[in-house]
Structures are given as C-alpha cells and as structure tokens.
Amino acid sequence: MIAKAEIEQLSLEFESKTPQEIILWAIKNFWPEIAMSSSFQTQSMPLLHMVTSLKRGIPVFFIDTGYHFWETLEFREKIASEWKINVIDLYRDSRWDVFARQHTRTLPVEDPNLCCYLHKVQPMQKALKDIKAWISGIRRDQTFVRAHAKILELQEDGLLKVNPLLNWTQADVKKYMEENNLPKHPLYEKGYRSVGCAPCTVAIGITDDERAGRWQGRGKTECGLHTDMFKKKDVSEIKQKIKLEIK
C-alpha cells in the first residue's frame, strides 16, 4: 500500500504528466484491483478509449439508473460490443425497490440528491468495495467542485481515486476525439453536450457551459459520486443529511 504522503507527492508530480502516463502508473500499481467508470457520453469517450486500449479487460462500471435515455443504452451496447470492453452494469440496491417504485416519477424532481444517492452513489460504493483504485474522467473545467479535485485522491477507506483528465479542457476532448475518430453519443448533435438521466438533462445552446443542461434550475451540479456524499456509507445518515439540505 502506498503511503498518503507519497500519494500527495505523486499527485503533484502528475500535474505535468499525460493522462496515458497516469493511467499506466495506476494499472502497474493496482492491477487487477482497479476499475474505471463511464457514463458513455461523448466527453467520456477519450478516457474510455485510452484506458481500455492500455489495459484489455479492465472493468468499466456503468451505472444503470433506470432513468437513462434509450440512446445512451443503445450507445453503451454498441461501444461495449465493438470495442470488446468489459462493461459491468450497476443497479440500485433492491432494498430500495418498493420506495423507488412508489416515487419513480417524482423522486428525480422532488429529491434529486436522494435519487442520485440510491441510483448512482450507493451502487458505485458497493462496486468499489473490493477495488483499490478507481479511474474517473472528471475535469477541473466542468464544475466548481471538480476545480478543486486532485489527480490522486486517497479516501479514508483506502480507495484511491485517479483522475487522469483533470487538467484537460473541452478543446482537449474534441482534439482527442477527432484524432482517434471516436464516435459521439447520438444526442450530442441535438444539443445534449453532457448527458445524464432523462428527467435531469435538457439540450443546451452552443455557448452554454457544457454541463448547463444537467439538473437545470434545481441548484444541483453534481450527482454525488465526486463529492463528500460518496465518502458516506451510512444510509440513515445520508438520508437525514439530504433531507436537511433540501428543506
């Protein structure tokens, strides 16, 4: 296990490394206890392409919330099949089924934090339980929270989060997509530059921020995978916290 001080030092050094160099370091040090996550939207394609080219068979977690656009599910199937990647779908814990069914149509609007917790955060926490390093595609230019992220982030439970694209911009994504002739999510050309769940994503204008169409008008910019919510494991505490925050 790498010491926290060493991780912090490496994280600083990685600020000047390429994403591929960072990914290779992570694979060398953590394989086979390493995985990546992908939402299979256009901006996810470069990391998916890099990681799965550098390490065949690496698990790729896709969170199937049950609220995705059909186009996202089709795209996920197409890419997984054509690129022959090891996609693992993650689902809500069945203990929430009765509650979730009773609130299917209202939950994303009335309590999106709880909805994201049940459908995204908790399934990912469970999937990463036996994993030591998690490669994620967040970028500093996406949100205020992400602007303060580090390339290597060691959680208290020992999980190392690896963010190889942290210093990339939209222009870097576009360049890599063009250079490698990568496919775009089918809704991209219709104005969906960042695609999440259908009830929480709208098309945006060409000059809008990339993530302006996510949870529009709901004062929410993050699903919780990349915030303090992810570090919390106790459901009752989460529920209480979420309820207090939305009052």
Q: Which residues bind ligand SF4 (CB under 6 A)?
A: 65, 67, 108, 112, 115-116, 119-120, 196-197, 199-200, 223
Closer Cβ to ligand SF4, 14 or 192, answer by number: 192
Burial of 145 (0-12, 13-18, 19+ CB in 10 A): middle
- CA atoms of 140 and 149, how far apart (whole Å): 7
Q: Which of 115, 116, 197, 223 is catalytic?
A: 223
Question: What value does the CA radius of gyration of the chain take, rounded to a whole number of Å?
Answer: 18
CB of 92 to ligand SF4, least distance (A): 9
Q: What is the largest CA-CA distance in the chain?
A: 49
Considering the complex, state which of residue 25 and residue 62 has its C-beta at the smaller distance from ligand SF4: 62
State the minimum distance, in angstroms, from the CB of residue 13 to ligand SF4. 35
Q: How far is the CB of 117 from ligand SF4 (least distance, A)?
A: 8
State the Cα–Cα distance between residues 184 and 41, nearest whole angstrom. Answer: 7
Quick one: how far is CA 131 from the chain centroid?
16
Question: With respect to ligand SF4, which residue has the nearer C-beta, 107 or 162?
Answer: 107
Task: Give φ, ψ of 92 to 5 degrees.
Answer: -55, 145
Sign of CA dihedral 149, 150, 156, 161: positive
Residues 6+ apart with CB under 8 A from 87: 38, 60, 61, 62, 76, 80
Least distance in angstroms from the C-beta of 223 to ligand SF4: 5
Active site (annotated) includes residue 200: no
8 Å CB contact between 35 and 160: no
137 or 196, CB closer to ligand SF4?
196
Cβ-proximal residues to 203 (8 Å cutoff; 6+ apart), any chain: 187, 190, 191, 192, 213
Query: Nearer to ligand SF4 by C-beta: 95 or 175?
Result: 95
Token pair listed for 75: 């795209």
Shortest Å distance, C-beta 242 to ligand SF4: 11
- Kindly list the catalytic residues: 223
